[in-house]
Structure 1
Amino acid sequence: MKTRLQSLDFVRGMSVLMLIPLHCMMMYATADTWRHSELGQFVQILEKGTPVFLVVMGVSFVFSKRQLPEDLTLRALKVLGIGYLLNFMKFDILLVLGLFPENLLLANKLDASMLSSNMLHFFLLGDILQLAGFSLLFMALFYKPFKNKWNVLAAALIIIILSKEVSGFRIGIPILDYFLDIMWGDQYNVYFPLFPWLAFILIGRFVGMIFKEKNDVSKFQNTLLIYAFSFFIIGGLLCYIDYDYHFGDYYHIGAGGTLMLVGFNLFVLFMGQVITQYLPKGKYLQLINYASKNVTVFYFLQWVIIDWGMVFFGFAQLTQEIISILIIVYITLTFLILYVFNLLSIKIKNALFNPTKSEEEYSSNVYQKTLD
């Protein structure tokens, strides 16, 4: 069990850490830098591996003690609250202060003079946290059927097959259309609709259930590799037959693209287990595990830092040399703010519930959390 947790922490920590270079390029890079620079080429490959975060979420879910429908609903509401708060922090504050880059508004086909509608647009954006929150509600709804791993796999495959067919379906009522977009939208008001991205979480849950049954790392690794190559090969063949349909739009991919990415990210999970067996213990691994254990706060902080950085660097204005420096600065800054956040959280908690603790004990608790 310890090996499992170590590998999951490593893969999840690396996946959230790699979001900083990806998001820096998305927000700061010129079109030429994104398409033709070495960093741009690397980040485009990196982007294909970020769904491993969703796969790990599904695997970790299997070992969670809070799986009752009411527990899942409460967790979903919490995650959704954080997600929409993040949207407000990332975008709406800058809009109110008049610091939002105008060319980003134009890129989203918005009128700069329409402050309230722009704020609503960005507040309601569907990103990873919205996907995670609504996915938890979905799993709460199907709590009993999903106790069987084959039902989980079947649900994932149904979502994969149907995604492109229902993509973009609306009924013409704005409020209901928003939730339909959350389900299967084809516009960029929702970057990660449940169809097809929920499939990554469900596949992760499926392989997690396999491991829980086998309770043997080597046997699980062999099974994981079989599924990884099977999904990748089937998806790759479908993409070869009709690339535009299956992989023409990364955020709204078809069945072939989803299967290929699922296979690729299962292989990333496999390699995470291999790497952790040989990776020496040290400060680097501690930082990765620290990012993993604080994944939601880390994700929140890095996005706010990067988006507020547009006040100084603009949107889509920088070359890879400057972005490379910013990536290092932002990784360091995110860890520092996270450390201070945890320190303050422990101080407040101890002040409320154990006011006799000393300053040394506060610092020791945060330092121990870093090492755990």
Structure 2
Amino acid sequence: MNKEVVNVGRQEELDWGKSLAIVAMICVHVYEQLSIVDIEVVPTDAFRIILEFVAGPLTAPLFMFCMGVGIMYSNNSAPLQMVKRAFNLLRNGYLLSFFKGTILVAIALALGYTINWTLADSLFLVSILQFAGMAFLTIALMKKLRISLPVMLVISLALSVLGGQLSELDFSGSWLQYLFGLFFETNYVTTFPLFRWIFYPVFGMIFGYFLLRTTDKSRFYLRIFPIGILGAVAFSIIYTALGFDLRTMFMLSGRVYYSQSLLHYLFTSLVIMAVLPVYYFLSVKIKIEPVNKAVSYLGENLGSIYLAQWMIIPYVQAILVLVGDVRIDVALIIPVGILVLLGSIGIIELIRLVKRRNSAHDFLENRKMFVKHDYYMRPLKSVKF
């Protein structure tokens, strides 16, 4: 370990982590929104347990962890720059909620459907983009106050405990539920409140601090792998032996996944430390160019894919409801998830193509105007000195 920053540039193992997490994320959203499975029933079969586990510690927490690593690696992580990015994320979060939720809820209510969501619920849903915006604001403030990483970690743990206590307050019927929902659970549409999830980007920042100063990444990951794998196994055995259900560390039933606690942090951190060396090994050993390009593409376009898949899944769900409340079978969850991923990529590339064509058209129009009015291209009059 070096005292100075030596390991800069893009860390390909994180791209591997994010790319595999994207696939799991989309599949679990299909599983939640489109399949015949009732996610409120505790998973007992191997498929559901594996899917909810992979989509638990290795999706949202991993994304937030990578966000923290990215803050440490970014050249644009000054407090003011982070604040600007935070407001952009919050804006995008609420715009996404409007297009994927509020429009559909309004149509459903107009058609006379009975639904559990109000228009306000659909618009002020606290999802991962809202969390990311709040996290950037919080970390920007802590950086402005020159709070060290260890103290940030302590603050994140304290906020988690505070969030658990505050979630017991009753805000039903009050608009304050949508404001305070950014910080802790106030209703059933609060999925990623700041206090419960801020630990993961802070953990990522601490990891990024050491990764930046690593001279031998192979040795670095070989050291943390046994800690992660043995720690996760030991936690699972002890937790189960004490009579607790390990599924509560990741399952969707009862929303326990969203109510992250100190035990969740320990379990998930160990899982992340166990899989990162695997992702590093894949990034080093796999030399198949199309695979590496796909991984790089998914890692670089994480945010865009997240937005695009929510422009597909809710509308497909609405169509299935209109044709008779059709739901897809369990066997189709992963195939449909892959189709949604491909559709999301198609949307992204179509938008980029339109932008490129518009840019090319604007360039040609500007060039025509330039040639038409280009006085500098005309012959110079003779000048007498």
TM-score by length of 1: 0.80
- Corresponding position: 1:294 with 2:301: yes
RMSD: 3.3
Write the distance in 2 (CA, Å) between the matches of 1:143 and 1:310.
Answer: 42
- Corresponding position: 1:81 with 2:91: yes
- The change in CA–CA distance for 1:32 and 1:86 in structure 2 (over 3 A counts) is closer
Which segment is superposed worse, 40-49 or 235-244?
235-244
Partner of 2:354: 344
C-alpha deviations, 1:188-233, integer Å up to 9, x for none?
Answer: 2211112221111110111001111334313432454466358747
Write the distance in 2 (CA, Å) between the matches of 1:305 and 1:311.
Answer: 10
SS in 1 for 2:108: coil
- The change in CA–CA distance for 1:183 and 1:130 in structure 2 (over 3 A counts) is same
- Corresponding position: 1:94 with 2:104: yes
Please say if residues 35 and 327 of structure 2, whose CA atoms lie closer than 8 Å, have aligned partners that are also in contact: yes
- Corresponding position: 1:137 with 2:143: no
Please say if residues 186 and 252 of structure 1, whose CA atoms lie closer than 8 Å, have aligned partners that are also in contact: no
How big is the shift at 1:310? 0.8
- The change in CA–CA distance for 1:32 and 1:153 in structure 2 (over 3 A counts) is closer
Write the distance in 1 (CA, Å) between the matches of 2:230 and 2:128.
Answer: 26
Partner of 1:123: 123
Partner of 1:332: 342
C-alpha deviations, 1:149-182, integer Å up to 9, x for none?
Answer: 3223333333445443343446789344433222
Partner of 1:113: none
**Which consecutive unaligned segments of at least 5 residues does structure 2 have?**
1-6, 368-385
Amino acid at match of 2:276: L
C-alpha deviations, 1:91-132, integer Å up to 9, x for none?
Answer: 1222333389988x64xx34xxxxxxx222111001111111
- Corresponding position: 1:52 with 2:62: yes
**Which consecutive unaligned segments of at least 5 residues does structure 1 have?**
111-117, 358-372
Write the distance in 2 (CA, Å) between the matches of 1:292 and 1:45.
Answer: 21
Partner of 1:16: 22
Partner of 1:369: none
Partner of 1:29: 35
How big is the shift at 1:40? 2.9
Write the distance in 2 (CA, Å) between the matches of 1:219 and 1:52.
Answer: 22
SS in 1 for 2:77: coil
Partner of 2:210: 210
Write the distance in 1 (CA, Å) between the matches of 2:295 and 2:150.
Answer: 33
SS in 2 for 1:252: coil
Amino acid at match of 1:185: E
C-alpha deviations, 1:345-364, integer Å up to 9, x for none?
Answer: 3333454468689xxxxxxx
- The change in CA–CA distance for 1:68 and 1:2 in structure 2 (over 3 A counts) is closer
How big is the shift at 1:60? 1.3
Write the distance in 2 (CA, Å) between the matches of 1:279 and 1:102.
Answer: 54
Write the distance in 1 (CA, Å) between the matches of 2:91 and 2:137.
Answer: 13
Partner of 1:360: none
C-alpha deviations, 1:30-84, integer Å up to 9, x for none?
Answer: 2368846664343212222212111111111111111111111110111111111
Aligned residue among 322, 326, 330 for 1:320: 330
Partner of 1:194: 194
Larger radius of gyration: 2
How big is the shift at 1:136? 0.4
Aligned residue among 39, 42, 47 for 2:50: 42
Amino acid at match of 2:285: Y
Amino acid at match of 2:13: S
Write the distance in 1 (CA, Å) between the matches of 2:170 and 2:363.
Answer: 50
SS in 1 for 2:190: coil
How big is the shift at 1:185? 0.9
Write the distance in 1 (CA, Å) between the matches of 2:98 and 2:292.
Answer: 33
Partner of 1:306: 313
Please say if residues 197 and 260 of structure 2, whose CA atoms lie closer than 8 Å, have aligned partners that are also in contact: no
Aligned residue among 285, 292, 298 for 1:285: 292
SS in 2 for 1:183: coil
Write the distance in 1 (CA, Å) between the matches of 2:20 and 2:175.
Answer: 37
Write the distance in 2 (CA, Å) between the matches of 1:242 and 1:176.
Answer: 38
- The change in CA–CA distance for 1:38 and 1:89 in structure 2 (over 3 A counts) is farther
Q: Give the length in aligned residue pairs.
A: 347
Partner of 1:5: 11
Write the distance in 1 (CA, Å) between the matches of 2:278 and 2:187.
Answer: 34
Query: Which one has a larger percent helix, Structure 1 or Structure 2?
Result: 1
Write the distance in 1 (CA, Å) between the matches of 2:10 and 2:149.
Answer: 19
Amino acid at match of 1:85: L
Taking every aligned residue pair, what percent have the same amino acid on both sides?
A: 21
- The change in CA–CA distance for 1:325 and 1:165 in structure 2 (over 3 A counts) is same
Write the distance in 2 (CA, Å) between the matches of 1:309 and 1:171.
Answer: 33
Which segment is superposed worse, 58-67 or 318-327?
318-327
- The change in CA–CA distance for 1:273 and 1:214 in structure 2 (over 3 A counts) is same
SS in 2 for 1:309: helix
Please say if residues 153 and 202 of structure 2, whose CA atoms lie closer than 8 Å, have aligned partners that are also in contact: yes
- The change in CA–CA distance for 1:67 and 1:293 in structure 2 (over 3 A counts) is same
- The change in CA–CA distance for 1:213 and 1:266 in structure 2 (over 3 A counts) is same
SS in 1 for 2:182: helix
